[in-house]
Amino acid sequence: MKQKRKLINQFMKFNKPLLFLTILITSLCFSQNQKKDIFVSLQAAPFISGGDSNDIGVIGITGFEVFMTNSISVSTSFFTSNNTLFKNENGTTIHSYGILPSVQYYIINKSKFNIFGTLGYGFGFEDLTRSNIENSALTIFNIGVGGNYKISSNLYLKLTLPYFYAKNITINKKALEGITPFFGVNYKL
């Protein structure tokens, strides 16, 4: 009996690091998102025009995301914006819309929440009342971080904090630049 107990103790001493490593790998590999998962999201952010006035509008984004691996996804987002939806002090209205393909890398991917980095580049159009131009072309670049928090089996709260730069290439001027929080929901199909 003593010999058996001694063998068990030696086995446990030898395998404690192996047991710890197995638990660590299992906890890191267990993830909320898996390869081939598909999500649809809806987010919005405030759009505050600068300069002499403080026009207040909104930027809305609808996205479609597909996981290529457990930690990398690709998405296509469709956006629209209106700088005077709630308040128009200067009489200049800017409506824009377009598409923004991007890639996300999930840094933390747990069953209840995740955190990701995102990078994208897209195209769009904007109508400017200030320059009497309709459908001028935009290019949009974004890089940022975001996260999802699970609130039910398929529904998540989503926060994205991108830095983005939009340029009107028709008139060769910056359309918008900065960091703004996007809040919304993400639904797993």
pLDDT in tens, 24-35: 444 444 457 888
CATH architecture of 38-188: Beta Barrel (2.40)
Query: Using CA of residue 120, residue 125, residue 127, residue 133, what is the dihedral sign?
Result: positive
For 45-65, what is the HEC assignment?
A: EEEECCCCCCCEEEEEEEEEE
Residue 81 pLDDT > 80, yes or no? yes
35, 120, 121 from 59: Cα distances, Å: 30, 17, 17
**For the chain, domain boundaries:** 1-30, 38-188
11, 26, 43, 64, 155 from 78: Cα distances, Å: 58, 36, 11, 9, 20
Q: pTM of this prediction?
A: 0.76
Higher pLDDT, 87 or 140: 140
Average pLDDT, the chain: 82
Residue 52 pLDDT > 70, yes or no? no
Chain position carrying tokens 């159009």: 125
Q: Name the burial class of residue 180, with classes exposed (0-12), middle (13-18) and buried (19+) by CB atoms within 10 angstroms of its CB.
A: middle
Given pLDDT bands bounded at 50, 70 and 90, which one contains residue 50? low
Residue 113 pLDDT > 80, yes or no? yes
